[in-house]
């Protein structure tokens, strides 16, 4: 929803920055990061966790195979 507001709702000059600042205050962010960067960071973290899970599953499968 934040990206929708950021990219599709026309704000007057300077209002976009005010919107981001107030949003940061409401969400408790203490460092400057845009909404898009925040979403990318979340997706990267979820992707890493999924990759680790698949790697563990593949390793467990390979242990069950008899290699000669």
Q: Which pLDDT score is estimated for 63?
A: 82
pLDDT digit string, tens, across residues 26-65: 877 666 667 778 788 889 999 999 999 999 998 888 888 8
Predicted structure pTM score: 0.41
Task: Evaluate the CA torsion angle 41, 42, 45, 47 in order and state its sign.
Answer: negative
In whole angstroms, give the CA distance from residue 13 to residue 67.
Answer: 67
Question: H or E segment at 43?
Answer: helix 35-64
Domain spans of the chain? 2-64
């Amino acid at each position: 929803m934040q990206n929708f507001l950021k990219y599709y709702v026309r704000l007057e000059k300077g209002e976009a920055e005010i919107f981001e600042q107030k949003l940061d205050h409401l969400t408790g962010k203490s460092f400057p990061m845009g909404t898009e960067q925040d979403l990318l960071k979340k997706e990267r973290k979820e992707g890493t966790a999924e990759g680790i899970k698949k790697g563990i599953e593949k390793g467990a499968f390979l242990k069950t195979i008899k290699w000669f």
